[in-house]
Amino acid sequence: MVRICGSLFGDNSEHKETNGYPTTGFSRQALSLNAGRGKAREIMIVIRYALAILAGGLVAAAACAGEPVPEVKMPAGARLVLDEDWSGGRIDPGRWYVLRRHWGEGNNGVVPENVFLARDTVDGKSRNVLVIRGHGDQYAGPVAGWRGNRTRVGGTIVSRAYFASGRYEVVLKIGSTAASPKGPKDPRRPVGMVPAVWTYAYQWVEAAGADPKVFNRKNPLFNPQLKNEYWSEIDFPEFGKAQDLETGLYNAFLNANMQSRPFSTKAAIDGQYHRFTTIWRTQLVPLPGVTDSQVVEAEGCYWIQDASIPFQLYRGNPLKRLGKDRYAVCAGKEATHFIDGRFAGTNPTHVPAMAAQLNIGVWFPEWGGAAPWEESTISVASVKVWQFDDPGDVRDVLKEQIPDNMDAGGNPLRRGDGQKVRTGAVSKP
């Protein structure tokens, strides 16, 4: 655990990474590899790569220096590709679908019955909003989740479209200001329930009968150093770990690597609507010395097939060909977060480059703690997504839709057993 900018990010501003390298140790780890190809060449590769990464962290650096950080402006050419306010009076099936799915421990999944439209007052006007309901530990109603259990069941809505670099803006409120006999003691704080906004895409790649310790040009996406999974996720944020709704978890997942950073969300835990904004950027990072013979083309990208290239320099990401024997890594740059236009924090490490689906929902993981009430909700007033089309974006590689994994009674489904195959993720939607 590395403490970063404690005075700005609050008492819990810790930087956690798993299966990766801390920023300060990047060059040391990379330099320990590939000795046979020459230390001088490796040093230059690492220095160039590290400089590019550092250039992408200017927002975080400015914040650490105590300088004001304005909300990031959109680049020229940014495209508004999703503008949802539910004014059509229904959940548009061409844009969204809802899950009937279970994952993780301590909960009974998410179901479509807990996702619906209702009227609410937003900025002084009555209008449609999307309501996502959670059933706590005391729920005894008819809605069933995993294996027929009725408590600790939430809901999740997922975009049909995949998105990459851009601006994501979600206006939502957690809980309510009005007390309810069925609700939490404090209606603004539905403890035990974890509301979340996140992008997500996943694909598991097997060795397919070949030697799992070596590359296989006939199976280009398989990488023996990758632990089989391609994983693109940014959480902005997940609320409520250990019942602390006032600290959000802003997480970034790049394949087997993760960065989790807690930033204050206290201003948004008041039962009112707030605007959550995340700016996701990607970039191309030159990777000198990689030759045409060391890669193979698939899915519109180039994939490394040579174990002598340090894995730390590309982390399983694909490459873009710039010319003969010239390549650059498609890499995440940073994800910068705001609440009501005020800077919340930045994920500078393990940011993905692969496009993913937008998810909004509530669930009840074990790490959220007890939920001593019947039901509570989050309400979503609007969702907007602009796409920046940064050069590091990777599209159409992760492209399956998340499947339901239980039927209406909560009975587990298997693929091909009446299952509605909506997506291909196997660990978390």
Mean pLDDT, consecutive 10-residue stretches, the chain (429 aa), reads: 28 36 28 38 46 44 44 86 97 97 96 98 97 98 97 98 98 97 97 98 92 94 92 97 97 95 97 97 97 97 97 96 98 97 95 98 98 98 98 96 94 66 32
Give pLDDT, residue 346: 96
Give pLDDT, residue 414: 81
Give pLDDT, residue 208: 87
Q: Is residue 293 part of a domain?
A: yes
- Alpha-carbon distance of 362 to 206, in angstroms, equals 31
Give pLDDT, residue 69: 55
Q: Is residue 426 part of a domain?
A: no
- Alpha-carbon distance of 277 to 292, in angstroms, equals 40
Give pLDDT, residue 359: 98
| Range(s) of the domain holding residue 229 | 2-387
Query: Is residue 270 left, alpha or beta, with left meaning phi > 0 and alpha meaning psi from -120 to 50?
Result: alpha
- The amino acid occupying position 54 is L
Question: Containing H/E element for 335?
Answer: strand 326-339
- The amino acid occupying position 36 is G
Q: Is residue 409 part of a domain?
A: no
Residue 279, both tokens: 């700016």
Q: Is residue 422 part of a domain?
A: no
Query: Rg for the chain (alpha carbons), in Å?
Result: 22
Q: Is residue 401 part of a domain?
A: no
- The total number of structural domains in the chain stands at 1
Q: Is residue 172 part of a domain?
A: yes
Is the separation of the CB atoms in 1 and 14 below 8 Å?
A: yes
Q: Is residue 226 part of a domain?
A: yes
The pTM (predicted TM-score) of the whole model is 0.83
Give pLDDT, residue 416: 52
SS3 47: helix
**First-to-last CA distance in the chain?**
27
Burial label, 367 (beta-carbon count in 10 A; 0-12, 13-18, 19+)? middle
Residue 48, both tokens: 């160039």
Question: What are the residues facing 159 on neighbouring strands?
Answer: 96
Q: Which residue has the tokens 């250990």?
A: 242
Residue 91, both tokens: 């959940």
- Alpha-carbon distance of 279 to 268, in angstroms, equals 19
Q: Is residue 428 part of a domain?
A: no
CATH code, 105: 2.60.120.200
Q: Which residue has the tokens 């005020």?
A: 342
Residue 47, both tokens: 């220095």
Give pLDDT, residue 74: 84
Give pLDDT, residue 415: 67
